[in-house]
């Protein structure tokens, strides 16, 4: 009877993750197209999708790899772009995923979507089979879509240019959604200022310079407000 | 085309950092809950990082060249406008990219 129970849990996982899978199909296709258009071999597309498995970072990574960016720049960019994942540990039901190997996979595949789908009060009682199947189905669909996108990318004639604007649009849209959390303009304005300053300092290294300036400025502002509160 | 070993190393570096960010916090949940600095950064970092990434993808736009800055400005405005209007990520990305591809392809063909 345990097999039947596991099968039910896997089916339940699929029902939970299905809407998220449908939603990422266009993004996966776009990533595959981008890999091919950036001049990387088509088979890097599924490798990238399977091994990194962090949507927006993968889009950025394609550009970094195509530009032959230094590995240190890739590491620091990944750290800052994916820093939000640190907080997913606070609510993700990893205690339900027993066994070292399963725990390793579950943390590896802790995407924004996996976090969002398990951020419900009921998830603290979900079975390992259900949690892992949510993550694994999403992983499988993502890699398949990116692979299909790479195939699609090879069909696009070279006269069509500018598809990489999808990456800009993705970051702009994610930025607008992140803005809605606080609806405060000084922070995005500060970031834009850091980006412009960084381009003026060095176009080549603008990403690291801008992110470094921005995080440093945030930490400074934090310490200044704490000190002001203490003095007051 | 970049060297295959370099691409593999880049992918592994990004994967290792991502996995670290996802797995290590489970070993330090208590200090994570208590850190006010982390909570402060968590609220403010995402919007700023996205602004910087968007700017990074546009770093080679030439402000003096109308065929470079024109399509970018129009597509950017459309993406932001559609996102504020409908709040549908895929629609905004699709609309902005479609307009950019048409304008940039026409500019490339005629220039």
What is the domain extent for residue A192? 184-232
Query: Residues A8, A49: one domain?
Result: yes
pLDDT at A222 over 60: yes
Residues of A in contact with B19 (CB under 8 A): 107-108
| pLDDT value for A20 | 87
pLDDT at A1 over 60: no
Residue range A148-163: mean pLDDT, rounded: 91
- Which residues of chain B have a pLDDT value below 70? 1, 111
| pLDDT value for A130 | 96
Closest partner residue to A218 among B23, B26, B45, by Cβ?
A: B45
Q: Which of A78, A142, A62 is nearest to A109 (CA)?
A: A142
Query: Residues A125, A73: one domain?
Result: yes
Closest partner residue to B97 among A81, A169, A218, by Cβ?
A: A169
Cβ proximity of A212 and A196 under 8 Å: no
pLDDT at A219 over 80: yes
Query: Residues A150, A219: one domain?
Result: no
The pair phi, psi for residue A222, each rounded to 5°, is -65, -45
Query: Residues A51, A165: one domain?
Result: yes
| pLDDT value for A5 | 87
Closest partner residue to A169 among B41, B59, B79, by Cβ?
A: B79
CA distance A53 to A136: 11
Query: Residues A175, A216: one domain?
Result: no
> What's chain A look like in SS3?
CHHHHHHHHHHHHHHHHHHHHHHHHHHHHHHHHHHHHCCCCCCHHHHHHHHCCCHHHHHHHHHHHHCCCCHHHHHHHHHHHCHHHHHHHHCCCHHHCCCHHHHHHHHHCCCHHHHHHHCCHHHHHCCHHHHHHHHHHHHHHHHHHHHHHHHHHHHCCCCCCCCCHHHHHHHHHHHHHHHHHHCCCHHHHHHHHHHHHHHHHCCCCHHHHHHHHHHHHHHHHHHHHHHHHHHC
Query: Is B10 in contact with A74 (Cβ distance < 8 A)?
Result: yes
Query: Is A161 in contact with B108 (Cβ distance < 8 A)?
Result: yes
CA distance B41 to A112: 18
CA distance A201 to A185: 24
Q: Could you say which of A182, A205, A220 is where a domain stops?
A: A182
Please give the share of chain A, as a percent, with pLDDT higher than 70: 99
Query: Is A107 in contact with B94 (Cβ distance < 8 A)?
Result: no
| B60 compared with A13, residue with greater pLDDT | A13
Determine if residue A75 is left, alpha or beta; phi over 0 gives left, psi from -120 to 50 gives alpha, anything else beta. alpha
Query: Is B53 in contact with A81 (Cβ distance < 8 A)?
Result: yes
CA distance B48 to A110: 23
Query: Residues A201, A171: one domain?
Result: no
pLDDT tier for residue A2 given thresholds of 50, 70 and 90: low
Residues of B in contact with A210 (CB under 8 A): 52, 55-56
| Contacting residues for A194 by C-beta, under 8 A, at least 6 apart | A209, A210, A211, A213, A214, A217, B48, B52
Query: Is B93 in contact with A170 (Cβ distance < 8 A)?
Result: yes
Query: Residues A92, A206: one domain?
Result: no
The mean-pLDDT minimum among A74-78, A101-105, A225-229, B78-82 falls in A225-229
Residues of B in contact with A26 (CB under 8 A): 90, 94
pLDDT tier for residue A230 given thresholds of 50, 70 and 90: confident
Query: How many domains are there within chain A?
Result: 2
Cβ proximity of B89 and A30 under 8 Å: no
Q: How far is A2 from chain B (nearest CA, A)?
A: 29
Query: Is B25 in contact with A166 (Cβ distance < 8 A)?
Result: no
Query: Residues A158, A223: one domain?
Result: no
Residues of B in contact with A179 (CB under 8 A): 47
Query: Residues A189, A93: one domain?
Result: no
Query: Residues A177, A100: one domain?
Result: yes
| pLDDT value for A217 | 96
**Quick one: B91 exposed, middle or buried, by C-beta within 10 A (0-12, 13-18, 19+)?**
middle
| pLDDT value for B33 | 87
Query: Is A187 in contact with B94 (Cβ distance < 8 A)?
Result: no
Q: How far is B24 from chain A (nearest CA, A)?
A: 8
Average per-residue pLDDT for chain A = 92
Query: Residues A178, A189: one domain?
Result: no
Query: Is B71 in contact with A162 (Cβ distance < 8 A)?
Result: yes
Residues of B in contact with A169 (CB under 8 A): 75, 79, 92-93, 96-97, 100
| pLDDT value for B11 | 97
Query: Residues A89, A62: one domain?
Result: yes
Query: Is A79 in contact with B79 (Cβ distance < 8 A)?
Result: no
ipTM for the complex shown: 0.92
pLDDT digits (tens, 9 = 90+) for A47-70: 999 999 998 899 999 999 999 999
Q: Which of A55, A178, A26, A145 is nearest to B93 (CA)?
A: A26
Query: Is B32 in contact with A90 (Cβ distance < 8 A)?
Result: yes
Q: Could you say which of A182, A200, A223 is where a domain stops?
A: A182
């Amino acid at each position: 009877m345990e097999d039947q129970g596991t099968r039910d849990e896997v089916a339940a996982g699929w029902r939970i993750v299905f809407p998220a899978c449908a939603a990422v199909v266009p993004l996966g296709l776009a990533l595959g197209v981008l890999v091919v258009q950036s001049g990387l071999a088509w088979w890097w597309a599924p490798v990238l999708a399977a091994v990194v498995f962090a949507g927006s970072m993968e889009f950025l990574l394609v550009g970094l790899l195509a530009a032959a960016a230094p590995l240190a720049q890739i590491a620091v960019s990944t750290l800052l772009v994916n820093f939000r994942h640190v907080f997913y540990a606070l609510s993700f039901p990893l205690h339900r995923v027993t066994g070292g190997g399963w725990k390793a996979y579950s943390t590896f595949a802790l995407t924004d979507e996996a976090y969002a789908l398990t951020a419900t009060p009921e998830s603290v009682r979900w079975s390992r089979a259900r949690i892992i199947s949510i993550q694994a189905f999403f992983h499988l669909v993502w890699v398949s879509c990116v692979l299909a996108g790479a195939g699609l990318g090879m069909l696009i004639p070279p006269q069509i240019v500018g598809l990489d604007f999808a990456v800009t649009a993705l970051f702009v849209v994610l930025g607008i959604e992140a803005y809605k959390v606080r609806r405060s303009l000084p922070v995005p304005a500060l970031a834009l200022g850091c980006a412009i300053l960084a381009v003026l300092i060095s176009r080549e290294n603008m990403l690291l310079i801008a992110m470094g300036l921005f995080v440093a400025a945030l930490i400074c502002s934090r310490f200044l407000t704490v000190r002001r509160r203490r003095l007051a | 085309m970049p060297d295959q070993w370099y691409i593999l190393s880049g992918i592994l570096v990004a994967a290792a950092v991502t996995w670290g960010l996802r797995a290590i916090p489970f070993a330090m949940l208590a200090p994570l809950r208590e850190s006010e600095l982390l909570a402060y950064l968590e609220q403010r970092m995402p919007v700023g990082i996205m602004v910087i990434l968007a700017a990074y993808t546009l770093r080679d736009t030439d402000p003096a060249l109308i065929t470079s800055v024109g399509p970018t400005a129009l597509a950017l405005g459309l993406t932001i406008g559609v996102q504020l209007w409908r709040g549908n990520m895929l629609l905004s990305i699709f609309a902005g990219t479609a307009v950019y591809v048409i304008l940039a392809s026409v500019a490339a063909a005629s220039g």
